[in-house]
Amino acid sequence: MTQFSLTPSQTVGPFFAYALTPADYQFSPLVGNDLVTADTEETPIRIQGKVLDGEGAPVTDAMIEIWQADGNGIYAQPGSNKKFLGFGRCETKDGVFSFRTVRPGPATGPDGRQMAPHINVGIFARGLLLRLFTRIYFNGEPLNETDPILSLVPQEARRTLIARRSGDSSGEPVYIFDIHLQGENETAFFEA
């Protein structure tokens, strides 16, 4: 009788970054950190932040993905919305990431309830077996109070999901959203 042993658990990485981000992937200029097209009708915004480890040090080799609704709360479907891409990817440089996008509108959830404007986020990094999922909500948004997902997050952790406005850059509003992988300020993450 043959006995099989389980493969020991291992962490992912270091990443082989070729073809993961636009700087490395020449065949798909659409997968980048700029989701705004020449036809986008909404005012662009910038989401900027850092990915930090449990000690507060920058994670220099993470990759962040975002996907979101447009300003009308409509998610892009293949071939449906050429005015806004709805999906982007950015690698961290010295722990820093940045996206140029639009502020999403309220989307309708699967239960028919209106969700607060939010951006879905996936994080890949060395040391993670699976990617992490979180959301970016916007400071001062009235629908945050009734959002069906945000209301599931314990009150003390909700602050980790709120981007704060920090002025403008070239006439575009800038929102700051840092991702803490561990520690006292750990970002609230969701199961897939």
* CATH number of domain containing 97: 2.60.130.10
Q: Which secondary structure element, helix H or strand E, spans residue 157, and what is its range?
A: helix 155-158
1 lies in some domain: no
Q: Each residue of 106-139: pLDDT tens digit?
A: 999 888 999 999 999 999 988 888 899 999 999 9
Query: pTM score, two decimals?
Result: 0.84
Segments forming the whole domain that contains residue 100: 44-180
Q: What pLDDT was estimated at residue 8?
A: 52
How many structural domains are present in the chain?
1
Q: Is residue 122 part of a domain?
A: yes
Residue 36: inside a domain: no
Across the range 45-50, mean pLDDT stands at: 97
Is 19 among the domain residues?
Answer: no
Please check whether residue 29 lies inside any domain of the structure.
no
**Does residue 51 lie in a domain region?**
yes
Tell me, what DSSP letter sits at residue 106? Answer: P
Helix (H, G, I), strand (E, B) or coil at 151: helix
Distance CA(120)–CA(113), nearest Å, equals 17
Amino acid 39: pLDDT: 84
Q: How confident is the model at residue 25 (pLDDT cuts 50, 70, 90)?
A: very low
Q: pLDDT exceeding 90 applies to what percent of the chain?
A: 61
Is the pLDDT at 80 greater than 70? The verdict is no
Any idea of the CA torsion for 24, 27, 32, 38, to the nearest 10 degrees? 140
Nearest Cα residue to 114 out of 152, 65, 71, 73: 73
Both structure tokens of 2: 């043959």
Mean pLDDT of the 17-33 span: 54
Mean pLDDT of 163-192: 92
Please state the rounded mean pLDDT for residues 88-97: 94
